[in-house]
Amino acid sequence: MSQVRETESHGNEEVREVTVETRDLTKRYGDTLVFDELNVEIEEGEMFCLLGPSGCGKTTLLHLIAGLEEPTDGGVFFEDDRVEGPDYRRGVVFQDPHLYPWRTVRGNVEFGPDVRGEKPDSEHVDHLLRMIGLEEFEDAKPGELSGGMAQRVSLARTLANDPELLLLDEPFSALDAMTQMKLQDELLALMGKLDLTAVFVTHDIEEAVYLGDRIAVMGDGGEGIRKVVDADVDGDRDSEEFAEKKREVFGLFKEEIQDD
């Protein structure tokens, strides 16, 4: 049975399951410490953002949750089971879409079930293509797609495996600002429709505040997570509430710079 955590919500107690937990998680590459004895819980249904500068360990933490790397010490637990390798229930979306150029859009979305030796669910694939707005491009090859369209296909390919946890490694960072904002909105809509839990890696403070239910602010030099910030804002980038939350998160980085 997964652990549960009590949170305050509009004056009422809400019990939410813990989907991912790290327990005294330590990672080293040779003599280089990435983070030491890191303990964090990620709740069911939330968007949990890992925010920090390059080299702080946010992608390494994502890879450990995905089972793509092994911890030096401690462990990662998904629904109370120790993570010991990749699992399609933990779907990963990378910064580079990594689409297969010889496959069509539909063929790329169907890749996961194909690899597992399962017949792709045509209705499910149709539904995903409609959700990402590419039903009219199902026969196109990756070379015919824009960057934003390619990233949509990558997301749909991951969702075709029906993951319970979505792990996203700076998936929008290579796109222009307008495309980024559009895909951020589409991702939030998909999260709501599919009732997913997600971990989102970013180095962009505004993106973290806009997307995240909570933001883990990471420091460099092996510091790990400095603070987990609640980011319950209304999603209006022009609001004072949004600006204040950005200032709060930026202040944590400013404090780190001044400490150096």
Residues 104-157: tens digit of each pLDDT? 999 999 988 787 778 888 898 999 999 889 999 999 999 999 999 999 999 999
Question: In terms of domains, do 223 and 253 share one?
Answer: yes
Domain end among 141, 162, 183: 162
129 and 69, same structural domain? Answer: no
Where among 109, 142, 162 does a domain terminate?
Answer: 162
Average pLDDT of the chain is 89
Residue 186: helix, strand or coil by DSSP?
Answer: helix
> Do 83 and 199 share a structural domain?
yes
What tokens were used for 8?
A: 């305050």
Distance between CA 191 and CA 182 in Å, rounded? 14
Task: Indicate if 180 and 83 belong to the same structural domain.
Answer: yes
Average pLDDT over residues 31-49: 95
- Is residue 3 a part of any domain in this protein? no
Which range of residues forms the domain containing residue 228? 18-89+163-259
Asked if residue 171 and residue 64 are part of one domain, the reply reads: yes
| Integer Cα distance of 90 and 158 in angstroms | 9
- Does residue 1 belong to any structural domain of this protein? no
175 and 149 within one domain = no
**What is the per-residue pLDDT across 52-64, written as a single tens digit (0 to 9) for each?**
988 899 999 999 9
pLDDT band at 4 (very low <50, low <70, confident <90, very high): very low
Same domain (yes/no): 195, 169: yes
Instruction: Say whether pLDDT at 3 is over 90.
Output: no
126 and 75 co-located in one domain? no
pLDDT at 221: 82
pLDDT of residue 149: 94
> For residue 166, is pLDDT > 70?
yes
Tell whether 152 is covered by a domain: yes
Query: For residue 213, what is the domain's CATH number?
Result: 3.40.50.300
* Residue 105, number of CB atoms within 10 A of its CB: 28
For residue 13, being part of any structural domain is answered with no
At residue 222, the pLDDT reads: 87
Question: With pLDDT > 90 as the criterion, what percentage of the chain qualifies?
Answer: 73
Whether residues 123 and 251 share a domain: the answer is: no
Number of domains, the chain: 2
Q: In the predicted model, is pLDDT for residue 27 greater than 50?
A: yes
Name all contacts of 32-40 with Cβ < 8 Å and 24+ positions apart.
32/222, 33/222, 34/60, 34/222, 35/60, 35/61, 35/218, 35/222, 35/223, 35/224, 35/225, 36/222, 36/224, 37/73, 37/74, 38/74, 38/224, 38/225, 40/216, 40/225, 40/228
pLDDT score at 117:
78
Domain shared by 83 and 180, yes or no: yes
Residues 186 and 120 in one domain: no
Of 118, 137, 162, which residue is a domain's last?
162
Note the pLDDT of residue 37. Answer: 95
The DSSP symbol for 136 reads G
Would you say residue 95 lies in a domain?
no
Q: Does residue 146 sit in the same domain as residue 106?
A: yes
**Tens of pLDDT, residues 230-253:** 997 877 888 999 999 999 999 998
- C-alpha span between 79 and 17 (Å, rounded): 9
Q: Distance (Å, rounded) from C-alpha 40 to C-alpha 163?
A: 21
pLDDT at 255: 56
Q: What is the pLDDT of residues 211-228, one digit of tens each?
A: 999 999 999 888 999 999
| pTM score of the predicted model | 0.89
Query: What pLDDT, on the 0 to 100 scale, is given for residue 234?
Result: 78
